[in-house]
């Protein structure tokens, strides 16, 4: 059994290359991997922002 660690992706609409990389990882997830740990900031967003982050719904549905 293996695990993957990803950290500080800071997903945001102005950097679609980072989102594309994450989607590729999720679509080609290693079959022997049982755990994925997301460390640090997944989105470029902080508590207090009033507007939702564009694209976060699509990622959550993946």
Which structural domain, as residue segments, surrounds residue 28?
A: 2-61
pLDDT of residue 54: 72
Backbone angles phi, psi at 27, to 5 degrees: -75, -25
Check pLDDT > 80 for residue 11. Answer: yes
Residues forming a β-bridge with 2: 33
3-state DSSP call for residue 29? coil
Q: How far apart are CA 1 and CA 11, in angstroms?
A: 28
Q: How far apart are CA 32 and CA 30, in angstroms?
A: 6
Number of domains in the chain: 1
15-51 pLDDT, tens per residue?
Answer: 999 999 999 999 998 889 999 999 999 998 776 656 6
């Amino acid at each position: 059994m293996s695990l993957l660690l990803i950290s500080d992706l800071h997903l945001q609409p102005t950097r679609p290359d980072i989102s594309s990389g994450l989607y590729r990882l999720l679509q080609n997830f290693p079959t022997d991997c049982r755990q994925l740990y997301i460390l640090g900031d997944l989105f470029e967003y902080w508590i207090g922002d009033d507007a939702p982050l564009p694209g976060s719904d699509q990622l959550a549905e993946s």
